[in-house]
Amino acid sequence: MNESRTEHAATVTIPEPGAFRFAENLSYLSRSSNECMYQIRQNTVRKALACDQETAVVEVSEDEYQHIAIRFLGNSPPSARMRAYAEAYVRDWLDLNTDISSFYELAENDELLRDVVPRFYGLRVIGIPDLFEAVCWGIIGQQINLAFAYTLKRRFVEAFGQAVPYEGDSYWLFPSPETTAGLSVQDLAPLQMSGRKSEYLIHVATLIAEGRLTKEMLLASSGCKQAEQLLTAIRGIGPWTANYVLMRCLRFADAFPIDDVGLHNAIKLLLHQEAKPTKAALQRLARRWQGWEAYATFYLWRTLY
């Protein structure tokens, strides 16, 4: 048995890494009551997963030994393949594979981060492991407020995703690239999705469905900058969306969405400034946070929402 986890027919347990607090990450996951991809139940989070043709609803919690417990709900025991997939998914989703001690050391001496990090100690960059879902969320969120972005995502998921039922509730799987590639702009119009965004979503879905854009391809790039170039070459993906995907899906710790409005507002508020930071000031901050720009950004976002 792998010593990093314990496993039973319907449970997988993963020891928590250092500098991790489940409650802090659950608090982040609870920030919108309109989230459709998982459900918070007291001190647990429930989510639908799919591995090949097998689906499951899992409940993720923290046990008394400070382990992450992944419990499969329902009467059908998961296959070994599904158990392995669920463990890998949750490790990626909750960022359990990253040693963030160097980031915390950097933050101790940083004028912006030294007060922010202790407030949210144990928070990780909560991921979106599926590339298509991550890109869609980035595109959907372009130039609209967060509340409406959640509404659009819910409409899209409930119209074209797959519901996995458990005890009278529906747990949603994100629409597949194959399904989305077969849609038209007119199919998405009733959701109040703009024509331009609809075109972008369908185009990206087609690239992924045809194997012309993969997570492996981006991870095989020479680094964050080349991966960003590969993404921004795609219609509908600008630097902001690319860096969002690099942060939350591809796990580039040096991704930095320099044009993000939330990042600007957080810095402005923390420094008690009247104006938002200039691009030159942001570039200086990025140099200060070199190698950990994504984590600095995520913690600063957390001060706002």
CATH number for the domain spanning 160: value is: 1.10.340.30
> 210, 230, 250 — which closes off a domain?
250
What is the Cα–Cα distance from 47 to 56, expressed in whole angstroms? Answer: 8
**Domain of residue 271, CATH code:** 1.10.1670.40
For 139, the domain range is 128-165+176-250
Structurally, the chain folds into a number of domains equal to 3
Q: Work out the angle between the directed axes of helices 239-248 and 224-232 (0-180°, nearest 10).
A: 130
Two tokens, residue 122: 């144990």
In this structure, are 238 and 259 located in the same domain? no
Residues identified as active-site: 260
Q: Which of 46, 62, 49 shows the shortest CA–CA distance to 14?
A: 62
Helix ranges restricted to H, the chain: 22-29, 80-93, 101-108, 116-119, 131-140, 146-160, 177-181, 185-188, 195-209, 215-219, 224-232, 239-248, 261-270, 279-288, 293-302
What is the Cα–Cα distance from 118 to 108, expressed in whole angstroms? Answer: 9
In this structure, are 204 and 55 located in the same domain? no
Two tokens, residue 183: 């849609």
Residue 291 lies inside a defined structural domain of this protein = yes
Residue 91 lies inside a defined structural domain of this protein = yes
**Domain of residue 35, CATH code:** 3.30.310.20
Place of tokens 């899906």: 249
Question: Using DSSP, how many helices (H) and how many strands (E) does the chain show?
Answer: 15, 8
Q: Which of 266, 271, 276 shows the shortest CA–CA distance to 300?
A: 266
Residue 171 lies inside a defined structural domain of this protein = no
Q: Are 189 and 195 in contact (CB under 8 A)?
A: yes
Two tokens, residue 20: 């991790």
In this structure, are 72 and 146 located in the same domain? no
Residue 25 lies inside a defined structural domain of this protein = yes
What one-letter code names the amino acid at 151? T
> 250, 266, 284 — which closes off a domain?
250
In this structure, are 116 and 258 located in the same domain? yes
In this structure, are 229 and 145 located in the same domain? yes
Write the DSSP assignment of 6-70 as a string of letters: EEETTEEEEEPPSS--HHHHHHHHTS-TT--S-EEETTEEEEEEEETTEEEEEEEEE-TTSEEEE
In this structure, are 268 and 229 located in the same domain? no
In this structure, are 115 and 257 located in the same domain? yes
Mean pLDDT by 10 residues, the chain (305 residues): 52 97 98 97 97 97 97 94 98 98 98 97 99 98 94 99 98 99 98 98 99 98 97 98 98 97 97 96 97 99 96
Confidence (pLDDT) at 1: 37
CA dihedral of 49, 51, 56, 58, whole degrees rounded to 10:
-50
Residue 257 lies inside a defined structural domain of this protein = yes
In this structure, are 240 and 257 located in the same domain? no
Residue 182 lies inside a defined structural domain of this protein = yes
Strand bridging mode 39-41 / 67-73: unpaired
